[in-house]
Amino acid sequence: MPAARFPPVGRSAARGGSARVSGMSATADTNDPVLTGRGLVKRFGTTVALAGVDVAIGRTEAVAVMGPSGSGKSTLLHCLAGIMRPDSGEVHLLGQRIDTMGERARSELRRTRFGFVFQFGQLLPELPADENVALPLMLGGVPRAQAVQEARRWFAPLGLDGLTARRPGELSGGQAQRVAIARALAIRPAVIFADEPTGALDQATGHETMRLLVEATKHNGASLVVVTHDPQVAAWCDRILEMRDGKIVGTRYGTAAPGGDPATEAPARGWA
Amino acid sequence: MTGLLELSWRLLRGAGRHGMLGTVLTAAAVTVSTALLLFTIAGNVAFLARADREAWRHPVEATSGAVAIQAVAEDFVEDEVITVVTVAPLPGAERSGVHPPGLSRMPRPGEVWLSPALAELVRELPPERLANRFPGTVAGEIGDEALVHPEELVAVVGRAPDDPAVTREPLYVSPTVIGPTRVADFTGRHGEMLLGYRILTVIASVLMVVPLLVFGGAAARLTVARRDQRLAALRLVGATPGQVVLMTVAEAVIVAAGAAVLGLVLYVASMPLVARIELAGGPWFLSDLWPGLLPVAGVLLAVPLLVGVSAVVGLRRVVISPLGVAKRETPPGMRAIRLVALLAALIAVPIASRNTSWAVVTGVLALAFLALNLAGPWVVSVIGRITARVARGPAALLAGRRLVDDPRSAWRTIAGVALTGFIAGFTGLLTPSGGMLGSPSATDLIVLTPADQVRTVADEARARLARAGIEAQVHAREPRTDGRPRPVGPLRGRVVVELPETADTAQVDTARTALAGLVPGHVPTTPADEQRAAFLLFADLRTGTLIVLSASFLVAIVSAGITASSSVLDRRQTYALLHLAGTPLEVLDRARRIETLVPLAVMGGGSLLAGMFCALPFVFATLSAGGAAILLVTIAVGFGGVIAADALSRPLLRSVTRNPAPRPD
């Protein structure tokens, strides 16, 4: 796929039209991490899902969280994304603590500052692709026509030309995930969270989807947190956190194309 | 095969909390449907049973071998009808062994047999109000097998064959007043009134059964729609499509069979309550409400079968792919032919109603009803298209797209209320008000007399009333001889007894008793008595309308509640993921509300008008206050019920969105 041309940063209708969580600064020091979790602990009954996790996600950094089933990687994602409150510890987005916010404020935060890509089932089957992408913008108060127009600008760079009117059931798995990526990016989020984004795709499509996800996220100045159990998917990220028994037990740096040497085969960054 | 059924059973039991909830919803729907279906069948059977028991009071003239002379009249006490059957046994009658049903033998002259309710009333009231009308010896009580309902007031009076009451030509006849007839037995024939009621019951059944079928079918399809993910998993482990279909159908049928039995239990449990509903003069014998072993067995077999067939139809829409989720593609557009079918039926109703055959009219009405059900989804899809086109916010857009995506499912939510709207429109116009009959006098007693005896009878009436201490003015009305056409039968005059307008029921009853037997074979009646049958019919039409509407509302609201809940269950993964991504619950909720209320407003109103249109050929008069009240209550209860049922699924929506890690099933 040729190098993609994404809609320019800073011209989003979402920026002008959507409601923002009050007091949240979008222009913190560029060296500061965008998202941090400190001493995160989460228990489900007697099971300890997170046993004191510290993590920081830098601006435009792509971080993969890996680990076997039950290691706590999805719980970490949920705590960082404000879906779940940790039992103890703190989560900060651009310097502001978010884990103490009420459900409504966290919900608004997720809608305006975070983007989500799940394994499957996140697109509304009744809506055509462009309206699926426009939905979060409309939820933020952007008028329908403007939201759909804005949404359609993401289709060509993500290789979805001509598919705006298709419904999710009429798209392939890879196409549906790219629509989900477009939806996550459309609101110009600070961080995109992806939970097993390639889990329902074959290997080739999975890699292509990951490449687009990483490239598009970085190009838009957003950070990326990917939960996966697939090392080849994780290899697309800048940093890989290895989790076991609710703790981060290892960190690897540097990115590489799947199957290659991380030091030499970094994925192409052909952004205009 | 047995293994598959066993696996279906185990899957059913281990369906998890949401799966189990779905099963319970389906079972509830089938239970209610079965109970109402049994109620509908029982209604038809019950009127037939009443007609059978009442047949002996409609004597058939004997061509030979007469054993008795029988006459039937109506008397009144406490504003209730007493059916008085006069039986004069002919010589040799006792030896023949023939006797009226409910009596142990042929009544002898001078004997009186009373129904239990009348016997009790005779004991309760002073003799001058009632007992003195039956001067003979009370020989026994009439058995239930000769009574229309348990509270019916019936007297069998034995007379000699030469008694004037059974020898004179009748001065007045009606469906319920029959002159002396020589009979060979007491088999009789079915009366016209009860047959009329049976026809009305058939119409009511048609009106109730169609929503029931829609409801039952919808419930079955819910089971299938919810199982698609799990069925895909079964395909993954190598089950053939045939096995998957069999398992799904088996699961639906197992649930339906259990629920049908529960429905039977529910119906039997509610029989004592149903028996209290007063129709055609009184409540019911419990035995009348038992539809019979064969019909019950038929229902218990047919309901699961119907659910099975609906499940197969539902499966046809769910494309099960081994790779996972059921595909959701742009559905083929609804064909406008559905609307053409409705228009054709609406045109057919007035044309067909020129035909006097009730069977044809009922058939056409049923067709109009089915056509409405056929046109419903098409109209819903049009409404969806318009809603989506004009939508500005995400909720309306989502609602509109959903309506276009699955208009049948949206129709199922509102079908009950829309079809009830049709019934309300139909019956609203047919509900006459009592005021149409005016307010006839209940204090003027009229005694018909042979033309040559008017003065004698009037004098005798004055004497009797004076003896009884009743204040009244007695007028003798000679037959008219002004050349105007006179009624068929012998020339007759009238004696009019005017009681004071302030006279109460007790005083009128005492006057009736004083005048009893004044003209043999005839009882004094007030103008209000003569309108009593019409009043009763009108009251019964209102009761019937209320029964049909109540049943329809029950179905409609349960149906709306079940469909709303299952719609949440079906979309739980998407809802949960949207919630995770920050979509406010209110938006999802508003979308669901618009999805229900917009088509409800259009279809509910449309159905109401269609029902009124279909009723036009039968309308007695302009819309009565009672009819208007029914229409208004329908609109209020229908909308309120659906909104409330929909609101009940909100906690479910909250519960499915609370799950932080949604999984397909």
A168 touches chain B (CB under 8 A): yes
The three-state secondary structure class of B469 is coil
Residue predicted with more confidence, B561 or B156 = B156
Amino acid in position B80:
E
Higher-pLDDT residue of B370 and A67 is A67
CA–CA separation, B105 vs B143, rounded Å?
A: 12
Q: How large is the average pLDDT for residues B589-601?
A: 84
Residue A172 contacts B where some CB pair is shorter than 8 Å: no
A205 touches chain B (CB under 8 A): no
Chain B CA closest to residue A85: B660
B269 vs B450: which has the higher pLDDT: B269
Mutate to test the interface with A, among B575, B580, B587, B590 (most CBs of A within 10 A): B580
| Better pLDDT: B241 or A2 | B241
- How much is the pLDDT for B30? 86
Out of B329, B578, B580, whose CB is closest to A170? B329
Chain B interface includes A105 (CB < 8 A): no
CA separation for the pair B574, A132 (Å, rounded): 12
What chain A holds in terms of domains, given with CATH numbers, is 32-253 (3.40.50.300)
Least confident range of A64-78, B111-125, B437-451: B437-451
To the nearest whole number, what is the mean pLDDT of chain A?
A: 81
DSSP tag of B320: -
For the ranges B239-243, B291-295, B637-641, the one whose mean pLDDT is highest: B291-295
Nearest-CB residue to A118 (from B397, B406, B577): B577
Verify whether the Cβ–Cβ distance A110 to B580 is below 8 Å.
Answer: yes
| B contact set with A (CB within 8 A) | 324-325, 327-330, 391-394, 397-398, 401-402, 404-406, 573-574, 577-584, 587, 660-662, 664
A83 to chain B, any CB pair closer than 8 A? The answer is: yes
Q: Under a CB-based contact definition with an 8 Å cutoff, are residues A53 and A76 in contact?
A: yes
Could you tell me the sign of the dihedral formed by the alpha carbons of B235, B239, B240, B242, in that order?
negative
DSSP symbols for B324-362: SSPP--PPPPPPTHHHHHHHHHHHHHHHHTTS--HHHHH
| Amino acid B374: pLDDT | 82
- For residue B82, the model assigns a pLDDT of 93
- Residue B459 contacts by C-beta under 8 Å, 6 or more apart in sequence? none
Distance between CA atoms of residues B40 and B212, nearest Å: 10
Q: How far is A136 from chain B (nearest CA, A)?
A: 8
What pLDDT score does A18 carry? 37
pLDDT at position B116 over 80: yes
- Between strands A62-66 and A223-227, the pairing is parallel
- Output DSSP code: residue B55: G
| Residue B148 clears pLDDT 60, i.e. is over it | yes
- The strand order across the sheet containing A223-227 reads A114-117, A191-195, A223-227, A62-66, A239-244, A247-253
A170 near B CB under 8 A: yes
Answer whether A256 touches B (CB < 8 Å). Answer: no
Question: How large is the average pLDDT for residues B223-233?
Answer: 60
User: Does A68 contact chain B (CB < 8 Å)?
Assistant: no
Contact A139 B394 (CB under 8 A): yes
Distance between B562 CA and the closest CA of chain A, angstroms: 21
Residue of A nearest to B402 (CA): A126
Contact assignment for A110 to B581 by CB distance below 8 Å: yes
pLDDT score recorded for residue A13? 43
Contact A144 B574 (CB under 8 A): no
B616-622 own/partner pairs: CB under 8 Å, 24+ apart: B616/B350, B616/B429, B617/B349, B617/B350, B617/B353, B617/B354, B618/B353, B618/B429, B618/B430, B619/B429, B619/B430, B620/B430, B620/B432, B620/B436, B621/B432, B621/B436
Mean pLDDT for the stretch of residues B47-70 = 91
Q: Which residue has the higher pLDDT, B434 or B587?
A: B587
Q: B573, A121: Cβ pair inside 8 Å?
A: yes
Q: Which of B329, B574, B587 sits opposite A139 (nearest CB)?
A: B587
State which amino acid sits at residue B167.
T
Let me know the angle formed at the C-alpha of B664 by B661 and B665, rounded to the nearest 5 degrees: 100
What pLDDT does A25 receive? 41
Instruction: Determine the distance from the C-alpha atom of residue B611 to the mean position of all C-alpha atoms in its chain, rounded to a whole number.
Output: 17
* Sequential DSSP letters for B118-183: HHHHHHHS-TTTTGGG--SEEEEEPPGGG-SSTT-EEEEEE--TT-HHHHSPPS---SS-EEEEEE
User: H or E element: which one contains B495?
Assistant: strand B492-498
Cα of B383 to nearest chain A Cα, Å = 15
Which residue in this structure is represented by tokens 């004094």?
A: B524
- Range with lowest mean pLDDT among A127-141, B199-213, B307-321, B365-379: B307-321
Q: How many CB atoms lie within 10 A of CB B333?
A: 12
What pLDDT shows up at residue B158? 93
* A126 close to B (CB below 8 A): yes
| Span B434-447, average pLDDT | 70
pLDDT band, residue A260 (cuts 50/70/90): very low
Per-residue confidence (pLDDT) for residue B488, from 0 to 100: 61
CB contact under 8 A, A107 and B584: yes
Distance to chain B for A266, nearest Cα, Å: 31
B282 strand-pairing partners:
B279
Nearest Cα residue to A74 out of A250, A190, A225, A177: A225
Residue A87: band (very low, low, confident or very high) from pLDDT cuts 50, 70, 90: very high
For A7, the token pair is 């809609």
What is residue B217's predicted lDDT score, i.e. its pLDDT? 67
pLDDT of residue B312: 77
Which residue shows structure tokens 């890996």? A66
Alpha carbon of A173: minimum distance to chain B alpha carbons (Å): 11
Q: Which residue would you say has higher pLDDT here, B64 or B150?
A: B150
Distance CA B357, CA A240 (A): 83
Query: Which 8-state DSSP code applies to residue B102?
Result: T
pLDDT over threshold 50, residue B140: yes
Q: Which domains does chain B have, with CATH numbers?
A: 1-55+195-329 (no CATH), 59-188 (no CATH), 351-435+532-665 (no CATH), 444-530 (3.30.70)
Nearest in space to B368 (alpha carbons), one of B37, B599, B617, B42: B617
Question: Please, what is the average pLDDT of chain B?
Answer: 80
Check whether A26 has a pLDDT greater than 60.
no
Query: Considering only CB atoms, which chain B residues are within 8 Å of A136?
Result: 581-583
The reply to whether ipTM tops 0.90 is no
Give, as one character, the DSSP assignment of residue B276.
Answer: T
Could you write out the three-class secondary structure of chain A? Answer: CCCCCCCCCCCCHHHHHCCCCCCCCCCCCCCCCCEEEEEEEEEECCEEEEEEEEEEECCCCEEEEECCCCCCHHHHHHHHCCCCCCCEEEEEECCEECCCCCHHHHHHHHHHHEEEECCCCCCCCCCCHHHHHHHHHHHCCCCHHHHHHHHHCCCCCCCCCCCCCCCHHHCCHHHHHHHHHHHHHHCCCCEEEEECCCCCCCHHHHHHHHHHHHHHHHHCCCEEEEECCCHHHHCCCCEEEEEECCEEEEEEECCCCCCCCCCCCCCCCCCC
pLDDT band at A259 (very low <50, low <70, confident <90, very high): very low
Distance CA B391, CA B395 (A): 8
Is residue A84 within 8 angstroms of chain B, CB to CB?
Answer: yes
Which residues in chain A are closer than 8 Å to B404, comparing Cβ atoms?
A: 126
Cα–Cα distance, B608 to B425 (Å, whole number): 4
Q: Decide: B630 and B428 in contact? Cβ < 8 Å.
A: yes
Q: Decide: residue B621, CB within 10 A, 0-12 exposed, 13-18 middle, 19+ buried.
A: exposed
CA distance A185 to chain B (A): 12
Q: What pLDDT, on a 0 to 100 scale, did the predictor assign at position B142?
A: 95
Out of A147-161, A219-233, B418-432, B514-528, least confident range: B418-432
Predicted local distance difference test score (pLDDT) of residue A256: 43
Please tell me the predicted confidence (pLDDT) of residue B322.
41
pLDDT at B326: 42
DSSP assignment letter at B89: E
**Residue of B557, B549, B580, B548 whose CA lies nearest to B658:** B580
Give whichever of A107-111, B226-230, B289-293 has the largest mean pLDDT. Answer: B289-293
C-alpha to C-alpha distance for B520 and B287, rounded to whole angstroms: 38
Residue B490 has pLDDT above 70, yes or no: no
CB contact under 8 A, A136 and B582: yes
Best residue of B571, B578, B587, B657 to probe chain A, by most A CBs closer than 10 Å: B578
Instruction: Give me the amino acid identity at A74.
Output: S
Model pLDDT, residue B663: 41
Query: In this predicted structure, what is the pLDDT of residue B517?
Result: 83
- In angstroms, what separates the C-alpha of B625 from chain A's closest C-alpha? 45
Please give the residue that has the higher pLDDT: either B229 or B254: B254
**Mean pLDDT on B563-570:** 74
Q: Which helix (H) or strand (E) holds B599?
A: helix B585-615
Pairwise pLDDT comparison (B208 vs A100), residue with the higher score: A100
Task: Choose, out of A122, A126, A191, A195, the residue to mutate when testing the contact with B (most B CBs < 10 Å).
Answer: A126
CA distances (Å), origin B361, targets A34, B194, B548, B617, B653: 75, 19, 18, 10, 45
Asked which of A24-28, B45-49, B117-121 is least confident by mean pLDDT, the reply is A24-28
Nearest CA in chain A to B384: A126
